Amino acid sequence: MNSPENPKKQSWLKRQWSNVLFVIILILLIIPQTRLPIQVALNKLIAFSPSELSQDEQLEITSYDWSLQRDSKQINFSNSRGKVVFLNYWATWCGPCIAEMQSLQDLYNRYKGSVDFYFVTSDDKAKVKSFLNNNNYNLPVYYSLSVPPEKLRSSSLPTTYVISKQADVIMYKVGAADWNSESVHNTLNRLIKE
């Protein structure tokens, strides 16, 4: 004969389920091996499509002088003057960076011939190569050899800029975002046509 569950116990669980869940998540965040995957999952849940800056918020990039390295070749950011540019600062250890990476890969696949993409990191090159290979990403990764232009400096990761052909920062986002969205596509399509 099955006896019904204790009503007091059942009532307590109903009232405390959110507290129990919070404690479980907190414990998982304390454990180093589970911290990054949880950060990535949470950032994917809260990532949204970024919007364009208002005309008053847009910054004009006055200097494109910035030495970068890709595949052991030195290039200058000034090669992208007069082009639509997508600039993203990221790191392999950064949960929000990893959370937005698939949307960045999808965006890159769609616009790689029409937009100049720069994925800038200061991570160890072997770690970056391993991260990209393990996740099947083929993004153009750059390493900074000099100080970026003043209006493109950031100490937060990830940070992303979308720059028009006229050197205006049209989109600016700190934190994870869904970059492969209709609104971003519309913005890039418009900028490419200008």
Each residue's pLDDT tens digit, 110-165:
999 999 999 999 999 999 999 999 999 999 999 999 999 999 999 999 999 999 99
Strand pairing class (141-144; 67-70): antiparallel
Side-chain-side CA neighbours of residue 152 (13 Å)? 29
**Per-domain residue ranges of the chain:** 7-46, 67-193
**What's the CA gap between 94 and 36, in Å, rounded?**
8
CATH class of segment(s) 67-193: alpha beta
Six-digit token string for 131 = 């991260």
The pLDDT of 26-55, averaged and rounded, is 68
Confidence of residue 84 (pLDDT cuts 50, 70, 90): very high
Q: What is the DSSP annotation of 53-97?
A: PPTTT--B------EEEETTEEEEGGGGTTS-EEEEE--TT-HHH
Residue 114 DSSP symbol: T
Tell me the C-alpha to C-alpha distance, in Å, between residue 168 and each of 34, 95, 140, 183: 40, 29, 22, 18
Distance of CA 65 to the CA centre of its chain: 24
**What's the CA gap between 174 and 172, in Å, rounded?**
7
Tens of pLDDT along 45-71? 555 678 899 999 999 999 999 999 999
Under 8 Å between Cβ of 97 and 176 = yes
Q: Kindly report whether the global pTM for this prediction surpasses the value 0.85.
A: no
Under 8 Å between Cβ of 100 and 137 = no
